[in-house]
Structure 1
Amino acid sequence: MLEEEGLEPVEIRQNFTHMSDPMREIEAALISGRLHHDGHPVMNWCISNIVGQYLPGSDDIVRPGKEGRQNKIDGAVGLMMGLGRAMLNSSVMTSVYDEEDIAC
C-alpha cells in the first residue's frame, strides 16, 4: 500500500540496537524539558508505562519494556522509532534555506 503511494517502508526492529539511543535521548529531553507535546492523556499514559530493560551486563544499553499486559507503551515506542530514524539521518538533513536563495 505504501509502495503504491511512492513511499518506501522501513523495517525498524524493536531491539537494543535500534531502541537504546532514541530511548536515552527521549529520557534526557523529558528531564531537561526539551520534549513537549499537547498533553494528550494517552501519550502521557504510554510514557509513564515505560520500564527500561537493560542488556545483560550493560548499564547503558536499554530498550523500552512494560510491566503487565494492561500497561500499553505503543505511542511512546512509536515516538522512539521516529526519533531513531531522525537520528540516523540527522547528518544528511538540509534546509531549503541552505540551498536556495529565498526572497521575501
Structure 2
Amino acid sequence: MQLSIFLGATLLGSGAILMFGRSASEFASPVQLTSGDAALAAKVRYPSPRLLDVDGDGTREMVVGDLPGFVRVAKPAGGDDLLAWGELAPLKTDGRELKFNNW
C-alpha cells in the first residue's frame, strides 16, 4: 500500500492553524505536496509529517516518520510555496540514519 501526504490544514508549533486562504472555521480542500515532479513521500508506508526546523537555520523542514520507524527530511523547494519540497532524505545523527523501532 502506498500513501501520499496531503495537506488541508497544518498545526504549527505555536498552535496556529495555516489554512491556505480560508477562515479558521472552514477547511480548504486537501492539496498534494510534491517533491520535484512526484508526490512527496509517495513510497513511504504510513507517512506522519511534521514541520520542524531540524538544522537551526530558521526555516522549517518537512520531517516524515513512517511505519517501519525511518525518519526522513525534505527542505522547502524555495520561495513561499509550502506545497513544493525537495527530495526526502534520511535524517542522520552522528553520521547514522535515524530509526525508531516500532515493533
TM-score, L = length of structure 1: 0.27
By relative contact order (CA 8 Å, sep 6+), the higher-ranking structure is: 1
The structure whose residues are more often helix, as a share, is 1
